[in-house]
Amino acid sequence: MTESEPSSQPSKKALKKAAKEAEKAKKKAERSALLEQQELELRQQEVVDDSAAENYGEGDNFYPQTAIDKWIQLRNIEEHEDRECVFRVAVANTRSQSAKLAFLTLSQGLESIQMVVAETPEYVSRPMIKFAVNIPPESICTVFGVVKRTSEKIQSTTIQDFELQARRIYIVSKAQLPLPLQPADSEGPLPLEDKAPTTEVSQAQPLVSLNTRLNNRVLDLRAKLNHRIFLIKDGVDSLFQEFLRSHGFIRIHTPKIMGAPTEGGSSVFRLDYFHRNAYLAQSPQLAKQMAIQSRFPRVMEIGPVFRAENSNTVRHLTEFTGLDMEMEILEDYHEVVDILEKLMLFIFNGLNERYGKETELIRKVYAVEPFKLPAVSNIPRIEFSEGVKMLREAGETLDDYDDLTTPQEKKLGQLILEKYNSDFYTLDQFPTAVRPFYTMPSKKNKSYSNSFDMFMRGQEILSGAQRIHIHDLLIERIREHEMSPDSDGLRDYVEGFKFGCPPHGGGGIGLERIVQFYLGLPNIRMTSLFPRDPSRVLP
Ligand code: AMO
């Protein structure tokens, strides 16, 4: 049997069906053309009728040059009562009341204000109100409005006693919807596994995970909560400099590209440097000591620190900001401890004075207790051996010369808070065995060293020590650490001690950790603009 050839000619039925469909499509096209035409005519009619057509639109090239207060900051709004002003703002949301009335919430920095868009014969038409209501949230606009005192306080904006009566609204940069994250969601706390959100704010907000927030960091950072965190971080940065400058320190900048690892190879990032290996600095330790060798008596540095540690915790980053200092010692290394304790107190008190309101708002979201501080002369300074004793009395088992585990650190912090009513303290005289090779052993007992850590809310924020400035002793200690004093990473540093170097010491502080523990934030990533950790190098 042969297969019949498929006919190349369409059947009559198929032809009829195709003709019917073509007719249908034609009619549909005619109908939609008619509709489009009608809509166009309607829009043209609206424009003709729209007395306010000039007062709104898209683009940033048509500002009428009228005599008005230009580019006003919302925080200075009081100075402009009853005046027409121009503002650059972001639209937070829009709300239509009727065809004749709408409300916009406008934000600028940490401030927000209500704008009333009400029909007026001179400035605001109904098409303009429709335009205003349809502005996508997060769009950047230039708005003209008259500043008016309100009869009742507005609860939903930071500026409660004034509002703006709209006169002109121009979209400068239109946000494309849908947004992957609403900045308002980031005003609430993180969903935590171990701590149920307790505040009123948290109940009102949907919970968005930290990962989602960090993946959309530009939108996340727009939250006022985040702006406050970075305002406070900037405050720590400048208070650190203010205090140390007034105590004779100068700011230095040491290299971050190194020819060899300086503090052991395990936690160093290697990079390709013109066909040879180079390394990212794990700390400015050796360079700041070399500044002392170079006769700079007091130096400080604020710079990035890179650690290739696979630590996926809430207090570790692979890139953080180090606040470092190094100074000559005249009699005793406690000169360094004194300065560092005073520095930390200056930072805490300065933050309290300058950012009290911001701090309170952040701590409220996370239901965090205020940071308890004693007077400078009463800062608890406890020897490591005493800390071990306190922990043993509280039921912990630990050896004399072991480093504390993170839970033990937290426990000791709690014990010290109960005993001294302080969230900040110094633990002094650490066992030599748990400190780096450059640490000066204690004269009275070589098993301990002239080194110390400082803690906030039971978590380490600072490490410091007197350094070995005696050439031969340093070589001995480097060898004990199974490193070579002749290696590329150490040779020049070690040699510097041959040419006369005063006793000296210093410390390094993690900027992000200060911010995290001062505010009581659950995760260090919240304090880094674009955090880097073992699984995150973007955005
Ligand atoms: P250390 O290694 O203890 O000491 O670091 C000093 C301080 O830096 C912070 N820190 C970190 N912050 C975020 N993520 C990390 N992975 C991380 N690692 C450390 C902590 C810590 O207390 N050269 C010495 C300092 C010195 O003796 O001057 C040093 O680097 O707050």
Give 465-519 pLDDT, tens digit per residue: 999 999 999 999 999 999 999 999 999 999 999 999 999 999 999 999 999 999 9
Does some domain include residue 201? yes
Question: Active-site residue 301, yes or no?
Answer: no
Atom of ligand 1 nearest to the CA of 524: 13
* Rounded distance between C-alpha atoms, residue 372 and residue 152, angstroms: 38
Mean pLDDT of 207-226: 96
When mean pLDDT is compared across 53-57, 386-390, 534-538, the lowest value belongs to: 53-57
Q: Nearest to residue 526, comparing CAs of 202, 110, 226?
A: 226
Amino acid type, 333? Y
What are 83's two structure tokens?
């005046």
Could you tell me the pLDDT band of residue 59, with boundaries at 50, 70 and 90?
Answer: confident
Give the confidence band of 381 by pLDDT, cuts at 50, 70, 90: very high
Find the catalytic residue in 228, 316, 504, 525.
Answer: 316
81/124 same-domain check = yes
Q: Give the strands of the sheet with 298-306, arranged side by side.
A: 250-251, 298-306, 319-328, 504-510, 459-466, 451-456, 424-428, 381-383
pLDDT in tens, 224-275: 999 999 999 999 999 999 999 999 999 999 999 999 887 766 799 999 999 9
Q: Tell me the mean pLDDT in the region 292-312.
A: 97
Averaged over 95-120, what is the pLDDT? 97
For residue 13, being part of any structural domain is answered with no
Q: Is residue 352 pLDDT above 80, yes or no?
A: yes
First to last CA, the chain: 68
**Mean pLDDT over each residue of the chain, to the nearest integer:** 91
pLDDT reported for residue 63: 63
Please give the pLDDT value at position 96: 97
The helix (H) or strand (E) run that includes residue 357 is: helix 334-365
In a domain, 157, yes or no: yes
C-alpha 439/C-alpha 467 separation (Å) is 5
Identify any residues that bridge with 508 across adjacent strands, giving them in sequence order.
Answer: 324, 463
Kindly list the strands in the beta sheet with 257-258, ordered across the sheet, starting from the edge strand earlier in the chain. 257-258, 276-280, 270-273
What CA–CA distance (Å, rounded) separates 334 from 332? 5
pLDDT of residue 456 exceeding 90, the answer is yes
Q: Taking 80 as the threshold, does the pLDDT of residue 165 lie above it?
A: yes
Kind plus residue range of the DSSP H or E element containing 454: strand 451-456
Pocket flag, ligand 1, residue 205 (CB < 6 Å)? no
pTM: 0.88
Q: Is 320 in the pocket of ligand 1 (CB under 6 A)?
A: yes
Whether 210 lines ligand 1, by a CB cut-off of 6 Å, is: no
Domain shared by 215 and 228, yes or no:
no
How much distance in Å is there from the Cα of 23 to the middle of ligand 1?
77
Q: Are both 379 and 360 inside the same structural domain?
A: yes
Other C-beta atoms lying within 10 Å of the C-beta of residue 27 = 10
**Can you tell me whether residue 322 is helix, strand or coil?**
strand
pLDDT number for residue 207: 84
* Predicted local distance difference test score (pLDDT) of residue 43: 59
Ligand 1 nearest-atom number relative to CA 460: 22
Interval 1-17 mean pLDDT: 59
Active-site residue, 463 included: yes
Domain match, 232 and 328 both: yes
pLDDT in tens, 484-494: 999 999 999 99
Measured from the CB, is residue 283 less than 6 Å from ligand 1? yes
Residue 46 has pLDDT above 70, yes or no: no
* Residue-by-residue DSSP string for 467-509: BP--HHHHHHHHHHTT--TTSTTTHHHHHHGGG----EEEEEE
Q: Which ligand 1 atom is nearest residue 461's CA?
A: 31
Give the pLDDT band (50/70/90) at residue 204: low
243 and 376 belong to one structural domain: yes
Domain that holds residue 102: 56-60+68-173
Q: Based on the domain organization, do 215 and 231 belong to the same domain?
A: no
Asked if residue 201 has pLDDT above 50, the reply is: no
Mutate to test the pocket of ligand 1, among 258, 463, 512, 527 (most ligand atoms within 8 A of CB): 463
Question: Are 106 and 87 contacting, i.e. CB atoms less than 8 angstroms apart?
Answer: yes
Angle at 370 (CA atoms; ends 366, 375), nearest 5 degrees: 155
pLDDT at residue 107 in the model: 96
Distance 326 CA to ligand 1 centre (A): 14
- pLDDT for res 200: 47
Catalytic residue among 139, 451, 463, 528: 463
Does residue 72 carry a pLDDT above 60?
yes
At residue 67, does pLDDT exceed 60? no
**Residue 193 scores a pLDDT above 70:** no
Distance from residue 93's CA to the centre of ligand 1 (Å): 43
- CATH no. for residue 88? 2.40.50.140
Interval between CA 252 and ligand 1 midpoint (Å): 18
Q: Is 512 touching ligand 1 by the criterion CB < 6 Å? A: yes
The average pLDDT across 5-32 equals: 73
Regarding whether 252 and 212 lie in a shared domain, the answer is: no
| Same-domain status, 166 and 292 | no
Q: Is residue 79 part of a domain?
A: yes
- Ligand 1 atom 2: the closest Cα is on which residue? 463
**Would 382 be classed as within a structural domain?**
yes
Q: Which phi and psi (to 5°) does residue 427 adopt?
A: -110, 120
Are 138 and 93 spatial neighbours (Cβ–Cβ below 8 Å)?
no
Alpha carbons 201 and 206: distance in angstroms, whole number: 10
Cα Rg, the chain, nearest whole Å:
33
pLDDT tens by residue, 424-442: 999 999 999 999 999 999 9
513 a catalytic residue: yes
Distance CA 465, CA 450 (A): 6
What pLDDT does 11 receive?
Answer: 74
Is 309 among the residues known to form the active site? yes
Give the pLDDT score at 526. 98
Q: Name the domain count of the chain.
A: 3
198 band by pLDDT with thresholds 50, 70 and 90: very low
Q: Which atom of ligand 1 is the closest one to the Cα of 465?
A: 27
Cα(243) to centroid(ligand 1), Å:
20
For ligand 1, pick from 513, 515, 523, 528 the residue to mutate: most ligand atoms within 8 Å of CB. 513
Distance between CA atoms of residues 265 and 276, nearest Å: 16
Instruction: Choose the weakest-confidence range: 25-34, 166-175, 287-296.
Output: 25-34
Q: Note whether 368 and 484 are same-domain residues.
A: yes
The pLDDT value recorded for residue 90 is 98
Q: Is 1 contained in some domain?
A: no
